[in-house]
Amino acid sequence: MRQQLTSLQSQLSSKQTEADDIGRRDETRIGVEVANNLVSALSRSDEIMKLPRTLVLLTSVPANEQFRWEIEKIINNARAQLGGKTWLLLSGLPDYKRNLDAPLLKESGENGITIHGRNQASDYLMQVLGNGQCVIMHQTDQPSDQILTFYRKLDPTIWSDVHDTTWIDIGNDPLLKSPGCLDH
């Protein structure tokens, strides 16, 4: 009887851990409000076409990969809706194991989203992602022009007419100012 009880407690604990993981994943989803703001803003071709061509680095801590993936999907879908004519060109950080001379960019380690860069595209993304007042947002002066120079050396045909760099750094939890604020 004691072994059965121990086994049942172990199963219950395992199921509780699974439920907690599912709940946490749902909390890190982008949410309808943020998604709608982002889609709406990126679909307004008159605003987006005023931005200079910009390299947008998009990264996340492993726990918030789902959130990063959803932002990437929205930006790529907006590009498709505009016939591929968007000025926001997505990329990840360089492969530092392979490209030893790549400029090292360090994640902020802050909760929420940090927009690294102070330029037209960075300010636009800061406004769009923070528009719902739900996501914790920060902004820095990083990244430097060195990252764009590095990418131009790798493939000058893609990056030659890119003028700015910004970095959407999805950091640690919590991403939201209050639990459940994306439910509205």
Judged by DSSP in three states, 6 sits in: helix
pLDDT for position 32: 63
The count of structural domains within the chain is: 1
What pLDDT shows up at residue 60?
92
Burial class (CB within 10 angstroms; exposed 0-12, middle 13-18, buried 19+) of 18? exposed
**DSSP code string of 33-62:** HHHHHHHHHHH-HHHHTTSPPEEEEEEE-G
Is residue 18 one of the residues assigned to a domain? Answer: no
The model's pTM is 0.77
Output the CA angle 4-6-11, nearest 5 degrees: 95
Whether 63 is in a domain gets the answer yes
Instruction: Tell me how far apart the alpha carbons of residues 27 and 43 are, in angstroms, rounded to a whole number.
Output: 26
Q: Is residue 23 part of a domain?
A: no
Residue 5 placed within a domain: no
Cis amide leading into 94 (omega within 30): no
Q: How far apart are CA 74 and CA 176, in angstroms?
A: 19
Rounded Cα distance between 128 and 41, Å, is 7
| Residue 41 domain-assigned (yes or no) | yes
**Residue 4 domain flag:** no
In a domain, 46, yes or no: yes
Residue 144: domain span: 30-183
pLDDT of 26 reads 44
Q: Helix, strand, or coil here: 1?
A: coil
The tens-digit pLDDT sequence of the chain (184 residues) is 666 546 545 554 554 555 444 444 444 455 666 667 677 777 666 777 788 889 999 999 998 888 889 889 888 887 777 776 667 888 888 999 999 999 998 888 889 999 999 999 999 888 888 876 778 899 998 777 789 999 999 888 888 888 899 999 999 888 878 776 765 5
Domain assignment present for 75: yes
